[in-house]
Structure formats: C-alpha cells, structure tokens
Amino acid sequence: MKSMFMEKLLPRFLEYVAIDTQSEPTSKTTPSTEKQWDLAKKLIMELQQIGMKEVSIDENAYVMATLPSNIDRKVPTIGFIAHYDTTPDFTGKNVTPKLVENYDGSTIVLDKKNNIELSPDYFESLKLYLGQTLITTNGKTLLGADDKAGVAEIITAMEYLITHPEIEHGTIRVGFTPDEEIGRGAHKFDVKKFGAEWAYTVDGSQIGELEYENFNAAKATVTFIGKSVHPGLAKDKMVNAILLSNEFISLLPPREVPEHTQDREGFFHIHSIQGSIEKATIELIIRDHDATHFQARKDLLLDIAHKINAKHPNSVEVAIADQYQNMRAKIEPHFHIVEIAEEAMLEVGVTPIIKPIRGGTDGSQLSFMGLPCPNIFAGGHNFHGKYEYIPLESMQKAVETIVKICELTAEKFVSHGKK
C-alpha cells in the first residue's frame, strides 16, 4: 500500500488514544461511562467524512456503518468489529504517547523521574521490532491500543477501499462497541441490524495472531461466616472467617494459577480478598478451554465448600456465574472464515499465529448470538498498563490484512458457500 495513504493511520490512532474512554464495571448504564460518547460521536463524523454509508449510532453508543459492494455478483456480507473503551484497571486519562523511530533494541525510558523503563530484557517481544517505529506510553497511563488500534485500522482499511475502487469487494459492515473491557461489549450489539454472515474482531495482540477459540469463563464469590469470641475465651468457640478463607484457598490446586499456566491450560485466579473474624469474601475467576475441565473446576469449588461446611456448618457459601463460552464450537462449522483470514495474512507477508485466546473476546459472545466471529491481530503488546506499546508497522499490516480479507471474500465466495 502507498506510504502516503498509510501516513493517515498514525495521526488517526493518536487522536483516538487522546480521548479518555475508560469503562466502569460498577455502572449500570450503557455505555458505562459518559466519556465514551466523546469518541463514539467522533467516529460517526469520521465514517461519514470518508464516505461510508448507513452510518448510525444507537442509544447505547454502538456505532455501525456500511461500505457498499462494488461488484455485480452476490457475495457474503462480512464485518469488522472493534471496541473503543479502555480497561477500568488503569487510567486512560491524559494519554501522551511517545514515538520511538528506528528502534535499536535498547531499553526505552518511559518516565525518567519514576524510573519506568521498557526493557527488552524483561519484555522480550521488543526484540521482534528492531528498526521499526514503536508507539509507547509516557510511563504514567496505558496507551489504549486495546482496542483503539483496531478501530483505527478498520477505518483506515475502509478509507483505502473507498479510494481504490479497483479492488473488488462485497458489502462490508463495520461496528464499534463500548464496554468490552467490562465484559458487556456484545450485550446490546444488534446482530440482525449488523446483517453480516460472519465478522472479525480486530482485537488481538501480536502481529499475525488469528484466534477462533477462547476460554470458557465464570466468576465466583465465596463468602465465609465466622463467630467472634473474645480471644482469651475462644477455645472451641471462635470460628475465624479469615482462616476459613485461607483454608479454602489452600485446597485449590497451587499450580493452576495464571502465573504458572499457558496455552490451553486452565486456572483459578483469586483477584480480591476482604475479611474480618465474622465475615470474609474472596472473588475469583475460573478459566478453561475444555468444557469438561471447566465444569470440573466449578464443581471443585463446591466440593471444597462442602468439606469446610462439614466441619463448620453453614460457614461457606459459593456463588458461581458463567461469563462466556469457547467460541470454537460456533466457528468450526464455518471454518472457511478462519482459512480466508489465514490466506489474507500470508498474501500480505504476515505469518499467521493460530492459537487459543487466554481470555475473552466480544467474538465469543457474538458467535453464540449467531455471528461467527474469529479474532485477528491489532498489533499491540502489554495491554492494560504503562508498559503497553504497538509497532506502527504491525498496524499497517493489520490494515493490509483487512483489505485483503475483503478482496479474497469477493474472489472466492458467493453467498452461502464457496464457488
């Protein structure tokens, strides 16, 4: 692609990350924060300016638009989706990125005053990008490449197709969502209105990532009820809820935690604990790619509670709520949508990295809502914190991949099947 055109990608991305769109899990509204509207409204104007059609925004700040087909045969309508909120776990206010051109492999000083550094000795992925342009944080905020990079890449790809009508494509739908980072990005997504046969979320990490399976996920709250007695008279009478919570944790498999697992290995992740003698709670998430193993993990929590309750009746209560499912079951019957993305990457010089997502994705929920939706790379690393960075060249390859997917779909597929 012409470098003159790609020059639009960087300023577009920098404009997006400068707008604070941090989501809030305790909010009951959609979007969960009022400030997400700021970027959503900007996207509406930009989509109109580049020539997209049927540009819309609904009462929940879901943005959609259409690039009409430029061919006279019927091919599947496909879509590209990204979210514009950022994680509630780290501030996205006053994002001021740094550009590191022609990266030489040395440690990057993000914040000299506070000794915040991006070192290739710790973040080995940096070594993959020698000679490239890196976009980093200033060491005080996150960057927001998750997923404003995906937003910028989709819009840049659409603009490229609009200005290059010689590239044949069918009808393309794009969608931008709030609140993905708090697990609600697909909750109010109107699949029928979107009208695509399949779609791709552009929300992956490293260049080449192509994912069509993710964790089965649940969250659990375990509540412990104790009995407070004066410690001098406590023998055989006190029940310390804090110690009950400690006993519960000790009965979980010690190596099945995020810091000791990888690939398709599942885990328990305790992320919050609060307590006193009379009451304590722990909150954890449960993750596993395999549905049978996932159920076994949930059963284990109940079994541990049963054992403790046998010694101290009615002292432990477990509440488990499923969050999302592995989208593999919904995508494998339509596996050509993965194959076309893989071929597109190869044609633009990207080596596909096909692996399971150790997390969730809007694509999971959307797949179970009737829109098969694998995930492709946006290009960033170290999401959700001050060490986040993204190579500009990876963003450019994401744009090329999106364009090529559109082109290959028109070339290889007719509606509801291959030629």
- The SS3 assignment for 317 reads strand
Q: CA 21, CA 83: separation in Å to the nearest integer?
A: 10
Element containing residue 110 per DSSP (H, E): strand 108-111
- The SS3 assignment for 223 reads strand
Query: Which positions ≥6 away from 300 have C-beta within 8 Å?
Result: 252
Query: Which positions ≥6 away from 148 have C-beta within 8 Å?
Result: 13, 16, 17, 21, 39, 82, 84, 86
Q: How far is CA 99 from the centre of its chain?
A: 24
- How do the residues of the chain divide into helix, strand and coil, expressed in percent and rounded to 5? 35, 25, 40
8-state DSSP, 277 = S
Query: Which positions ≥6 away from 172 have C-beta within 8 Å?
Result: 66, 67, 77, 78, 79, 80, 158, 161, 406
Catalytic residue among 180, 197, 362, 388: 180
Instruction: Report the b/e string of 316-354 with b at 16+ CB within 10 A.
Output: bebebeebbbbbbebbeeeeebbebbbebbeebebebee
Question: Rg of the chain's alpha carbons, rounded to an integer?
Answer: 24
Catalytic residue among 20, 24, 46, 85: 85
Would you call 180 a catalytic residue per the annotation?
Answer: yes
Q: Which residues are catalytic?
A: 85, 180
